[in-house]
Each structure stands twice: as structure tokens, then as C-alpha cells.
Amino acid sequence: MATAALSTLPDFTRATGAPRVAGIVYPMGQPMGAPGDAEGQREVLKAALRFLAEASTPGELVRMPFDWPEPLHKVKWKGGAPPPIADHIKRRPWLFPRLVSGDIPD
């Protein structure tokens, strides 16, 4: 069964070995879109499924053609605790280039 990851950190997701990655420039924790935006979420889902159907190469990465309606640096985290990777990078920012390049530390 073919799989693809929808990711707000596509280069990192690809570096972890995901078979196919659809990168989207949306806030972390909201890769499908804003809460309550059913139409926008449906469009993201359709584009992700189209990518999955058309992707032919393992490791393929595509940038999704969607833009968040406000600058990402102004978006406030609306979830509970931030994802563990965000905390890890915040405490050890020098590891970020290694993570993105695929050199995943233990």
C-alpha cells in the first residue's frame, strides 16, 4: 500500500525516511488547514490524494500549492504542548541542519 506524509516540515520528514512527502507551508499542528475551514481542508486532502496517486518515485517530495492566510510568524500555537521535535530543536538548535540533511542523531 502506497503511503505519503503531509508535513509542515517536509525536508525533515523526508530525512526521516518517509516514502513520499507532501510539504505544506501551514502552521505546525495544522497541516490540513484552519479549524472550521472544511472547504480548505477538503482541497488539501484532494491534493494530497492526487499526489499519492501520481507519485512514482520513492522519496519523492512535492510542495503543496497552498498559502496560509496570514504570515506564519504571527500564528500562535493553539494546541496543548508543542510537539517533542519542536522542544528538542529549541533546546539544541545546532542539530537542526543535521536533522534536515538526514543525519538523525540518536
Residues 6+ apart with CB under 8 A from 11: 23, 61, 100
Evaluate if residue 65 carries a pLDDT over 90: yes
pLDDT at residue 90, rounded to an integer: 83
Evaluate if residue 86 carries a pLDDT over 80: no
CA–CA gap between residue 44 and residue 66 (Å, rounded):
8
51 lies in a domain?
yes
Tell me the whole-structure pTM to 2 decimals: 0.70
Lowest-confidence segment of 28-32, 36-40, 49-53, 69-73 by average pLDDT: 69-73
Question: Residue 62 is part of which domain span?
Answer: 5-101
35 or 22: whose pLDDT is higher? 22
User: Would residue 102 be called left, alpha or beta, if left means φ above 0 and alpha means ψ between -120 and 50 degrees?
Assistant: left
106 lies in a domain?
no
Q: Average pLDDT, stretch 19-42?
A: 91
pLDDT at residue 106, rounded to an integer: 61
DSSP H or E segment with residue 105? none
Domain count along the chain: 1
